[in-house]
Chains A and B, each alone.
Chain A
């Protein structure tokens, strides 16, 4: 090939099944992840049309959105949805990691954990946070249920060609600034629609310096900037993470895979349709104040005055957000006091996230009256954390230690905020009611969440005199 191409274009072109003028491309799907909430109607559609699942061997299912993370009465409607998934997987021969199985967990945590998520793959799932898998240099799209049915039936996805967008973060991240802060900073700059129609490639030394967990956190929230997908070119950090996992290639296959993966990076002279550059030193720990993920401010800042926004749409949006969040303009972020701290979700529930939070909490106590819970992203993350004694640290600090699931990221299972309750959350969406009707969400990193749990108001570990470990995650 003589034309210089980007990472996303390479992966796209390598999956072209059919291309014709005036039609969307037909792409082959290497891995289809399935969960209980967006699949039932797709399986029904297959049955109605008397179609079958083309490649059950490239399809993996788990239960995550609905699952309770603690013992208690089960919601019969949720149970019905999970039973439907189990029946569908049995009928169509799909590997399922149900509740109670050690392989169960948030769909975007178990794929990478099993080594199924690999560089250069096309991965889809009926969930917008499928962008997480782009951290490996895979092209990973969230899709709707009609598309889930399409992939089940054809193992392909019909897609218009996206634009390419480079988000380059160069320099050393300041102390205390984590991957979560990088992506919150990116979204604040480009806006909730800034990536629409584009695949973002995250580049630059600050991105390279992140662990795989950190890169997953960044790519995970690409959708919060409206992007079709987010990607990081695979490198030695990626290969080291994948090597040895249960579904990773072994022996000679590993060598062949490595050769392929090393060829995927964006060519030096390739051009992007859009480019955004951010100096790492400009970034700080962020806290969201509003009801969309671009409405964030530095933890050193204050709740903005809607009148300060020139754009009438942003001003009106800020006014509504402050009314919903019950916040006054000018209030210092550090003066805001959450009722609940939630550490979990596909954004920040991997082992590194838990280690960072545990380091902050070790030997300390959650502020009296504050509810705190930590929900590992998968049962294997939970087991690993328990081997490292992290569960003891969380419990001793006063955190609830839960089973794996999406939990309080979305109000679909018993873990919810009450109306008016304010939460410091490591999740990805601060939409109205996202964590429960009337709940008020502030998006933060695991480090800020843990420090906030101790202080009872938003703060950083440094505020509490806690030194961060060099290798920090989410």
Chain B
């Protein structure tokens, strides 16, 4: 995973609520068995509208997505995060994010940032008004800033540390291999297995 410490870039204002992962990447593009190459299909349907914010030249190269509440709802497809990452995004800022999407972000290294609704509104208006606005997302300081804008955000210490260091989650869990083995040895014998019938 790519570490995330601090990132400065321009932002894409996606002023919609309940943006589900079917919009972020429609199901027809989930058939790839590779982990890369999803960027061109990001918001594939909405993108067909020339007026869609992602198509506006002023927002080309944006690397921070600012969205409405309940971003990333619906399907668990990590492809949604891969598509955002592949299209150059490093952080998503919204008043609320769906649980599975947020979890997927933290596994990939796309920083999910929850800010109060009024702060998101002000940031949305600022980057809509001036698409060249430079926004900084600082994970060490747990703050988002832009000219005339500053907002602190919360993230649990463990996830923050993992993202700052870019640590492999599996490696971290395997530190507890002895505990896993001990747990397995104590599991009741009536529990089902896939291979045993009855």
* Given the contacts A118-B192, A153-B170, A23 and B35 also touching, CB distance less than 8 Å: no
Query: Which residues of chain A have C-beta atoms less than 8 A from B157's C-beta?
Result: 22
Do residues A51 and B170 form an inter-chain contact, with CB atoms below 8 A? yes
Of all chain A residues, which has the CB nearest B156?
Answer: A160
The reply on A226 being an interface residue by CB < 8 A is yes
Of all chain B residues, which has the CB nearest A46?
Answer: B170
Interface size, A (range): 35 or more
Chain B residues close to A by CB (< 8 Å): 16-18, 20, 22-23, 26-28, 30-35, 45, 68-70, 73-79, 81, 96, 98-100, 103-104, 107-108, 156-159, 168-170, 172-174, 176-177, 179-180, 183-184, 187-198
Of all chain A residues, which has the CB nearest B30?
Answer: A37
A-B contact number at CB 8 A? 213
Smallest CB–CB gap between B5 and chain A, Å?
20
Do residues B17 and A146 form an inter-chain contact, with CB atoms below 8 A? no
Which residues of chain A (22-42) have a CB below 8 Å from chain B?
A: 22-24, 26, 28, 30-31, 37-38, 40-41
The 10 closest A-B pairs by CB, nearest first: A146-B107, A144-B104, A144-B78, A40-B33, A253-B190, A145-B78, A128-B76, A412-B27, A142-B76, A193-B70
Do residues A412 and B30 form an inter-chain contact, with CB atoms below 8 A? yes
From the candidates B28, B96, B98, name the one contacting A412 in the complex (CB within 8 A). Answer: B28
Of all chain B residues, which has the CB nearest A162?
Answer: B99
B34, B68, B70, B108 — most chain A CB neighbours (10 Å): B70
* Given the contacts A41-B33, A154-B170, A431-B23, A146 and B108 also touching, CB distance less than 8 Å: yes
* Cα(A253)–Cα(B45), bound, Å: 53
From the candidates A54, A192, A433, name the one contacting B26 in the complex (CB within 8 A). Answer: A433
Do residues B99 and A228 form an inter-chain contact, with CB atoms below 8 A? yes
Which residues of chain A (424-465) have a CB below 8 Å from chain B?
A: 429, 431-434, 437
B26, B27, B70, B104 — most chain A CB neighbours (10 Å): B27
Do residues A192 and B73 form an inter-chain contact, with CB atoms below 8 A? yes
Query: Which residues of chain A have C-beta atoms less than 8 A from B198's C-beta?
Result: 246-248, 250
From the candidates B17, B188, B192, name the one contacting A31 in the complex (CB within 8 A). Answer: B192
Do residues A410 and B27 form an inter-chain contact, with CB atoms below 8 A? yes
* Given the contacts A17-B183, A51-B170, A431-B74, A80 and B22 also touching, CB distance less than 8 Å: no
Query: Which residues of chain B have C-beta atoms less than 8 A from A22's C-beta?
Result: 156-158
* Given the contacts A18-B176, A412-B27, A433-B45, A144 and B192 also touching, CB distance less than 8 Å: no
Query: Which residues of chain B have C-beta atoms less than 8 A from A41's C-beta?
Result: 33-35, 78
